[in-house]
Structure 1
């Protein structure tokens, strides 16, 4: 059993800090504190909950200049993007605070002369959250805020390499005067964390992770009749039809593929281009990708930093090498640079087919796999030929046709003439191996609620 983890700066390879892991008795104290806090928090009116989250939004904004560098040091995100992540988190928190009363209001369906009926969204208990490192604050708050707004407690099992961000978030909740322990950190051995699902005080688990980890936690939750919500990544198609605005599509495709060094669940991982514009699209895409400034993430002019881990870089490079061996053509990048850190250059592959690793697997790094489609029908076929189904981006001048095509794309979201994005006003989630359930909007708020009916007969 591990007693500590070491946080490594992915830009330099140097040690940042060491964090102790909880043992069984220490973990029990965290769970007990969360459950005790939930018992009082659930009785708070919606207005008092909203006030607490407004304080949290204020604190996130006030601590932006401390939180952003921490994100950069721990996982390599460029400092400008790290600051933008903090800003986005504050907007998320404030949106829920401002809309909470409406989102949790009772519904009163008309049942005619059979009396009156009311439907309420009531809290369930303490929810376990297993979160990834690619957006150390956003991923956590995207899950925790709606769950806690609904009156539940939240226990965070964050990724090993972003423990500093986890504890910084915990301090923000404490500064916002949330009940002590309502937002808890359960950094412990995997077996101990998984074992929490057997605890009657834990009512469910929300997971953003890989397929294997998500399936394992969902199976354990199911064994104990507990709710699970899974977001397990994707291989999102970015479809460019022949009538699309080429300049806009190329600019969006480059950003959608290489932002956060390609380490985004809803990144454009399979770029599917109609044959008549393929040559022009590829030429412009490579030109723009070649101009990406990548390097020191603390430099405000850097757009793409290192990958989060050297091991992750090795995995992505292996996918590239195996795909090239299978016939893909490398047009840009594809070589591990010399020197310290987990840097990997923007990489572009063409002549990609379904069976190649950069297409068949999720590529969680700065690698663009460009595929050719004969027409719109073929593009939809290629897009659906995947085990994943998180989101998609579709580029065309024909908006009516786009709506018809979008309904046939097997993903949880389709963005027409825009890159995939997450926003508190709309749900995010997938189908197939990308998982199930929805986060954000009123859907995320109600995922871990008791939808209670009260029917009063005359």
Structure 2
């Protein structure tokens, strides 16, 4: 059992008058730890500490900030066993998978450290001969980072590292489902000896999160979460006109052309749908198959879905693990039942398992229609609806007939079709002949209700900056 306290101004601080938040293993339902719930005063103190530290942090040469990030990356690697153990216990991930997430977080931290000498402004010609325009990139100030439960270690550094290299300081709110790994990261921050107040991490209830996000010193709020959570963040931003950066829901379509490698596509799609029990914002959530190969592809999917075993990944990493909570499992199962009531047919799975843990079987649905809830709403679980199409134009129309536009997938061997989809798909990403993986040198940004702004790469780092125009007359 882990007992954690909030991390404010480089120190772990208890909140004796506040309730503690219990953390449970979703594979067994057993308690694995607890964390202090931050008070309103502690949330305010964390922002105040970050605001005080930010002035000196921003004045450091960016190369010095990069050196701190490299030290943090080294500390993350040194603490990877502890971070991974905490993450595995609270998320249902296999221990090695959880440890690898810590190592991947170290790598994205190193990647952003490399931007130290690359944050550039612009020299812009003036309309008059004795004048020059200088456009400078500057930090925003204090950034509130709201972290999801599904990849909480990686996502935390995905937000914190670019914020820091740009000269900001941060207050992090981890998910109440997976806060233990965040405080293991806090120990890595201590080990790296980052200056006081630069990184603060607090667990909190929603009312305290409102205090955090509405603080006048918070200049930006970055969230990975649901559309509903995104709307709440936009309400917070209105108070002080803070900048939002939102990665919200996804409903990744996969288009399977008749010339695709069907075996490879089926294997990749099943892996995408069952990794972390389908709890990925870019997991494939709907499949459109060309009619001439629809039945064959459905058979391949059925065979592979039926072979997926569910169980505790701490015992066997080949299992598909649990959903994060009982309510998440109930929501997924209810969507499956409503799909069946609307005319869908279960090809595999679809039955609520007995026993402890929040497990749900890999579930394949055929005879689906475009207007069904299971096609239109994010499931965030191991459930996959399959639809047939006649022409690629039909597939594109259905893929784009949607509220979300985060990621998309196309399987084809025809370059003309690949280019057609690349120029017409209404999504921030297209993966051709592979499933989504969010390369951290790319740019992960959603269209439509999938969000505002984005993460990763140069453009993700620049989200954490604002501009100043200097008009220099000489």
Shorter-chain-normalised TM-score: which range? over 0.9
Structure 1 residue aligned with 2:261: 245
Structure 2 residue aligned with 1:201: 217
Report which stretch shifted further, 405-414 or 111-120: 111-120
Q: For residue 250 of structure 1, report the CA deviation from its aligned partner.
A: 1.1
- Provide runs of 4+ in structure 1 moved above 3 Å: 109-117
- The CA distance in 2 between the partners of 1:218 and 1:290, in whole Å, is 42
For residue 105 of structure 1, the aligned residue among 98, 117, 120 is: 120
Structure 2 residue aligned with 1:83: 99
**Does the CA-based 8 Å contact 1:131-1:207 persist in structure 2?**
yes
**Does the CA-based 8 Å contact 1:34-1:155 persist in structure 2?**
yes
Q: For residue 361 of structure 1, report the CA deviation from its aligned partner.
A: 1.1
Structure 2 residue aligned with 1:161: 177
The structure-2 alpha-carbon separation of the partners of 1:274 and 1:293, relative to structure 1 and needing over 3 Å to count, comes to same
**Does the CA-based 8 Å contact 1:241-1:375 persist in structure 2?**
no
Report which stretch shifted further, 264-273 or 104-113: 104-113
- The CA distance in 2 between the partners of 1:143 and 1:456, in whole Å, is 34
Q: For residue 432 of structure 1, report the CA deviation from its aligned partner.
A: 1.1
Q: For residue 107 of structure 1, report the CA deviation from its aligned partner.
A: 2.8
Instruction: Write the deviation string for residues 260-311 of structure 1: whole angstroms up to 9, x where unpaired.
Output: 1100001100111111111111111222222234311113532421111111
Q: Is there any run of 5+ residues in structure 1 with no aligned partner, and where?
A: none
The structure-2 alpha-carbon separation of the partners of 1:383 and 1:66, relative to structure 1 and needing over 3 Å to count, comes to same
Structure 2 residue aligned with 1:95: 111
**Does the CA-based 8 Å contact 1:186-1:193 persist in structure 2?**
no
Structure 1 residue aligned with 2:430: 414
Pairing 1:27–2:43 present: yes
Structure 1 residue aligned with 2:53: 37
**SS of the residue aligned with 1:161?**
coil
- The CA distance in 2 between the partners of 1:20 and 1:68, in whole Å, is 21
Structure 1 residue aligned with 2:296: 280
**SS of the residue aligned with 1:178?**
coil
Q: Is there any run of 5+ residues in structure 2 with no aligned partner, and where?
A: 1-16
Structure 1 residue aligned with 2:462: 446
Structure 2 residue aligned with 1:217: 233
**Does the CA-based 8 Å contact 1:320-1:357 persist in structure 2?**
no
Cα RMSD (Å) of the superposition?
1.7
**SS of the residue aligned with 1:391?**
coil
**SS of the residue aligned with 1:314?**
helix
Report which stretch shifted further, 339-348 or 178-187: 178-187
- The CA distance in 1 between the partners of 2:315 and 2:125, in whole Å, is 59
Count of aligned pairs: 457
- The CA distance in 2 between the partners of 1:11 and 1:301, in whole Å, is 13
**Does the CA-based 8 Å contact 1:147-1:444 persist in structure 2?**
no
**SS of the residue aligned with 1:108?**
strand
- The CA distance in 2 between the partners of 1:381 and 1:455, in whole Å, is 48
For residue 346 of structure 1, the aligned residue among 362, 369, 372 is: 362
**Does the CA-based 8 Å contact 2:133-2:472 persist in structure 1?**
yes
Q: For residue 81 of structure 1, report the CA deviation from its aligned partner.
A: 2.4
- The CA distance in 1 between the partners of 2:154 and 2:384, in whole Å, is 24
Superposed, which structure 2 residues align to 1:256-405 within 5 Å? 256-405=272-421
**Does the CA-based 8 Å contact 1:2-1:189 persist in structure 2?**
no
The structure-2 alpha-carbon separation of the partners of 1:455 and 1:286, relative to structure 1 and needing over 3 Å to count, comes to same
**SS of the residue aligned with 1:253?**
helix
Instruction: Write the deviation string for residues 201-227 of structure 1: whole angstroms up to 9, x where unpaired.
Output: 111211111111211211220242111
Structure 2 residue aligned with 1:12: 28
**SS of the residue aligned with 1:121?**
strand
- The CA distance in 2 between the partners of 1:406 and 1:2, in whole Å, is 52
**Does the CA-based 8 Å contact 1:147-1:154 persist in structure 2?**
yes
**Does the CA-based 8 Å contact 1:174-1:180 persist in structure 2?**
no
Q: For residue 388 of structure 1, report the CA deviation from its aligned partner.
A: 0.7
- The CA distance in 2 between the partners of 1:268 and 1:194, in whole Å, is 33
The structure-2 alpha-carbon separation of the partners of 1:290 and 1:14, relative to structure 1 and needing over 3 Å to count, comes to same
- The CA distance in 1 between the partners of 2:163 and 2:216, in whole Å, is 18
**SS of the residue aligned with 1:156?**
strand
- The CA distance in 2 between the partners of 1:409 and 1:114, in whole Å, is 47
The structure-2 alpha-carbon separation of the partners of 1:2 and 1:362, relative to structure 1 and needing over 3 Å to count, comes to farther
Instruction: Write the deviation string for residues 27-86 of structure 1: whole angstroms up to 9, x where unpaired.
Output: 222222111221211111111111111111112222222222221110112233223322
Pairing 1:116–2:132 present: yes
**SS of the residue aligned with 1:42?**
helix
- The CA distance in 1 between the partners of 2:193 and 2:416, in whole Å, is 50
- The CA distance in 2 between the partners of 1:398 and 1:223, in whole Å, is 51
Q: For residue 338 of structure 1, report the CA deviation from its aligned partner.
A: 1.3
**SS of the residue aligned with 2:430?**
strand
Structure 2 residue aligned with 1:141: 157
Q: For residue 191 of structure 1, report the CA deviation from its aligned partner.
A: 2.1
- The CA distance in 1 between the partners of 2:390 and 2:29, in whole Å, is 45
Structure 1 residue aligned with 2:244: 228
**SS of the residue aligned with 1:269?**
strand
**SS of the residue aligned with 1:137?**
helix
Instruction: Write the deviation string for residues 181-208 of structure 1: whole angstroms up to 9, x where unpaired.
Output: 2111232231222233432211121111
**Does the CA-based 8 Å contact 2:40-2:211 persist in structure 1?**
no
**SS of the residue aligned with 1:355?**
coil
Report which stretch shifted further, 166-175 or 195-204: 195-204
